[in-house]
Amino acid sequence: MSRASQPPRLAVWKFASCDGCQLSLLDCEDQILTLATAIEIAYFPEARRASVHGHYDISLVEGSVTTQHDAERIQEIRGRSRFLITIGACATSGGIQALRNFADVKEYAALVYAHPEYISTLDVSTPISDHVKVDFELRGCPINKGQLIDVLSALLIGRRPITPAQSVCVECKLKGNICILVSQAVPCMGPVTHAGCGALCPSYLRGCYGCFGPKETPNASALSNRLEEIGMNNEAIRRLYSTFNVNATPFREEKERHGT
């Protein structure tokens, strides 16, 4: 995929986010120096002062769009990027800051700031794909760094990334976990949540809270019925869907089915 005999250029961009997904790249302690021999890390302000301007072969985009300036900036970045990959729940669904989409932002600003009139922000937090064409989405809050390396390797080699869209339940079965929802009636979003974490929460004896967002074709209402059977009320179910991927359509619809 590289320009004749040159290593491909990588850029890392930040929008509204916690920095955790781009930190995942620096957390690849065993791979980062090798990666830097195969890819030119041309723009990554969190790690490097100098930057190479122009066009990039791969852009990793973290964060959601929450300001007019950022809505314009993502267009410019798209124009300069050959492959644009969104990393994490903020970039792929709008993140936890998308809770504003269901509230009055003016009220939010007044709660947090002494001078809300200085705040310039959009009423909604939206995923990158609402603004530009996205070539690949990597899920998670935060992303799984193994999957990040896989996606970059896949691009370098020219194969498809291996990031199955099945449910967390499949990962539990592969791990040999006993189902905590069935055996202990612990509320768990595993049946509707995209795999990628390695069934982390159930392995620590707690329910999945959906940080990888919806799996492909989730049946959220069936899960909600089960959650009601084990004693969750509407309000609690609504909160369960109202976290890091609240703006992802299947989660948003299920949240709204349980009141506003």
Q: Measure the CA–CA gap between 33 and 43, rounded to whole angstroms.
A: 16
Among 11, 16, 128, 248, binds another protein (CB under 8 A): 16
Q: Does 76 bind another protein (CB under 8 A)?
A: no
Among 178, 222, 230, 236, binds another protein (CB under 8 A): 236
* Cα 53–Cα 58–Cα 63 angle in degrees, nearest 5: 90
Q: Does 6 bind another protein (CB under 8 A)?
A: no
Tell me the three state secondary structure of residue 32: helix
Q: Does 1 bind another protein (CB under 8 A)?
A: no
Closest approach of Cβ 45 to another protein, in Å? 4
Closest approach of Cβ 162 to another protein, in Å? 20
Q: Which of 130, 102, 97, 90 is nearest to 112 (CA)?
A: 97
Q: Which of 260, 254, 239 is nearest to 102 (CA)?
A: 260
Among 1, 36, 162, 178, binds another protein (CB under 8 A): 36
Q: Measure the CA–CA gap between 217 and 70, rounded to whole angstroms.
A: 31
Q: Which of 104, 125, 91 is nearest to 213 (CA)?
A: 91
Q: Does 230 bind another protein (CB under 8 A)?
A: no
The single residue listed with the structure tokens 């709660």 is: 111
Q: Which residues contact 170 (CB under 8 A, 6 or more apart)?
A: 164, 195
Query: Beta partners for 56?
Result: 81
Q: Which is nearer to another protein, 68 or 222 (CB)?
A: 68
Q: Does 52 bind another protein (CB under 8 A)?
A: no
Closest approach of Cβ 115 to another protein, in Å? 5
φ and ψ at 76, to 5 degrees?
-65, -40
Q: Which is nearer to another protein, 127 or 142 (CB)?
A: 142
Count of other CB atoms within 10 angstroms of residue 164: 12
Q: Which is nearer to another protein, 49 or 133 (CB)?
A: 49
- Give alpha helix (H) positions in 117-219: 145-157, 168-175, 180-184, 200-203
Among 9, 11, 12, 17, binds another protein (CB under 8 A): 17
x-or-dash pattern for another protein, window 157-196, by CB under 8 A?
A: ----------------------------------------
Footprint of another protein on 106-145 (CB under 8 A): 107-109, 111-115, 118-121, 141-142
First to last CA, the chain: 47
Binding positions for another protein, rule: CB under 8 A: 14-24, 26-27, 29-30, 32-33, 36, 41, 44-50, 66-67, 69-70, 95-97, 99-100, 103, 105, 107-109, 111-115, 118-121, 141-142, 197, 200-201, 203-206, 209, 211, 236, 239, 243-244
